[in-house]
Amino acid sequence: MRSLADKRAAVMGLDSFGLAACEMLAEGGASVRAIDPGSPPAETAVVSALARRGVEVAAELGDTAWDIVVTSPAVSDACPLVREAHSRGLPAMSELELGYQQCLCLAVAVAGTNGKSTTAAMVARVMERGQRRVLVAGHAARPLCRVASESREQDFVVVETPFGQLEGTDHFRPAVAVLLNLTPTLPSRYLTRSGLTRCAARLFANQQCFDWAVVQSEALAELRAAGIEPPSKVITFSASNRRADLWYDRGLLQSRLEGWTGPLLDMAKCRVRGPHQAENLMAALAVGHVMRVPLEAMVEALRDCDAGNDSGETLGERLGVSYVSDARASNPEALRQALHSVAPVVGSDPNIWLIAGGPDDGYEFHDLGPLLSRRVKRAFLLGEAAQRMRAAWSLFTPCTVVSSLLEAVQDAADMAECGDVVLFSPACSSCSEPSSQPFRGEAFREAVRQLEGMDRRESRNQSTIT
């Protein structure tokens, strides 16, 4: 654990991760400057709260020879201030790295383009059944810096690990590192696919031969094609590659690991559905196996797991039409998974009324066209990305640009028939601050609440999508 007392620290970015870093540094006795790049400090509740902790708020690094520079996920390496810090030889690190350096227990990291929150919750549940004391951290509502002080009483911290956080790591070393996937559609901060692969490789960079890497076989193939090999012991899993150590076979999760062969879990007895959820389950099972948790205990823990709020959550029904929130779908690959997971009607006719759109992150949408033609009756598109989505999809399904989420829900409700599904799966980020995703989901919930005759679901993820 690194001492923070009397250190001079600068924190770039005032999202929840940056604020958590400021709080940790100030509590540790550091002199802290919080920097909102490009924005002059204004008198806000956040600035006032930081001032009460003795944290200065500014827009520039200044001439100080900082001992510690921390970047939040909202600030990329392309930011001029980050480049300035690098050019001056300042020791820049991510919030993840800072939190890890202050942790007093082992870490299990869960990384990937999609599925981190769901899988981290599954892993924690499995480990708790194995009598391990576990914290889950790394998401916007609970940054690692905010819970590091609690780690002394824990056996493990399960960390949701965005690729953007890995860019600024130096000592981060998870005892078990899980890589769920590497999406073929990239966010704009990664200029090339190889750049994303190199960033993902940071997950394993400091592991030792006695640590573990639990990796989707397709992602591992990409790492190896780039000349990257995890130095730890490797377990692979896949919903489509039957040669993986754990694989998906007609609803069954199978293993060929030595001493652990045969079927592990029947997804028909689980609350979650779909190949992507099969991979999340396999990753959790692999971590449990590494931790020597009995299979019976793992199966019992995982059967009742759901995908969580706004991850394929069925909100209710009206006139036989289901309303599903997949508000956490922040890229085209997540939308693809959602479309595959919606239960089809008898026959081959489309039964989905899709609501998508948001900020234009630079994603390519054309590859989804053939799938939309088979599954989607009409797409309602909103936000900055709406016009590019319509240009990519209008050949495959009717597209309507709407001005609001409320308008989209009401129009879909007017057109939908019994057996249809109204699916909100944006395929775009909500904005630069990840914690805003729940607010996006709440906006869809509120729009659904306004429909008359709505039969709301009391439990989550029951049948239509998981």
Q: Which domains does the chain have, with CATH numbers?
A: 8-90 (3.40.50.720), 97-303 (3.40.1190.10), 313-456 (3.90.190.20)
Please write down the HEC assignment for all residues of 10-40: EEECCCHHHHHHHHHHHHCCCEEEEECCCCC
At residue 15's C-alpha, the angle toward residues 10 and 17, to 5°, is: 70
- What number is the average pLDDT over the span 169-175? 96
What pLDDT shows up at residue 37? 77
Burial class of residue 180, CB neighbours in 10 A (0-12, 13-18, 19+)? buried
b/e for 430-466, b at 16 or more Cβ within 10 A?
Answer: beebbeebbebbebbbebbeebeebeebeebbeebbb
pTM given for the model:
0.82
Euclidean distance between CA atoms 293 and 21, whole angstroms: 34
Q: Which stretch of 118-122, 134-138, 262-266, 337-341 has the lowest confidence by average pLDDT? A: 337-341
Q: What is the pLDDT of residue 453?
A: 77
pLDDT classification of 43: cutoffs 50, 70, 90 = low
Q: 334 near 365, Cβ under 8 Å?
A: no
Q: What is the pLDDT of residues 67-118, one digit of tens each?
A: 999 999 888 777 888 889 989 998 889 999 999 999 999 999 999 988 998 9
Q: What is the pLDDT of residue 154?
A: 96
Share of the chain above pLDDT 70, in %: 91
The Cα-based distances of 387 to 53, 239, 354, 366, 456 in angstroms read: 45, 33, 15, 13, 33
Length reported for the chain = 466
Question: Token pair of 101, please?
Answer: 């350096």
Spatial strand order of the sheet with 421-424 comes to: 399-401, 376-382, 352-357, 421-424, 321-325, 313-318, 455-456
Which pLDDT band, with edges at 50, 70 and 90, does 464 fall under?
very low
Distance separating alpha carbons of residues 383 and 404, to the nearest angstrom: 8
Q: What is the average per-residue pLDDT within 402-416?
A: 95
Structure tokens at 281: 């389950």
CB-count burial class (<10 Å; 0-12, 13-18, 19+) for 366: middle
The DSSP symbol for 152 reads: G
Q: Give CA 177 to chain center in angstroms.
A: 15
Res 193: pLDDT: 72
Question: What's the pLDDT score for residue 310?
Answer: 67
User: What number is the average pLDDT over the span 201-207?
Assistant: 96
Alpha carbon distance, N-terminus to C-terminus of the chain: 40
Is the torsion defined by CA of 362, 366, 371, 376 positive or negative? positive
Q: Assess contact for 216 and 178: CB atoms under 8 A.
A: no
pLDDT tier for residue 273 given thresholds of 50, 70 and 90: confident
Catalogue the E-assigned strands of 297-398: 313-318, 321-325, 352-357, 376-382
Which residue is listed with tokens 């959820």?
Answer: 277
Average pLDDT rounded to a whole number, residues 382-397: 96
For residues 229-258, give the mean pLDDT: 96
Q: Is the pLDDT of residue 431 over 50?
A: no
Compute the mean pLDDT over every residue in the chain, rounded to the nearest whole number.
Answer: 89
| DSSP type of residue 387 | H
Q: What is the pLDDT of residues 438-458, one digit of tens each?
A: 568 889 999 999 998 777 654
Sorting pLDDT into bands at 50, 70 and 90, what band is 462?
very low
Give the tens place of pLDDT for each residue, 300-347.
Answer: 999 988 766 667 788 989 999 999 999 888 899 899 989 988 888 777
pLDDT value of residue 414: 95
Q: Which amino acid is at 124?
A: A
Confidence of residue 384 (pLDDT cuts 50, 70, 90): very high
Query: Which has the higher per-residue pLDDT, 248 or 329?
Result: 248
What are the phi and psi torsion angles at 386 (to 5°)?
-60, -45
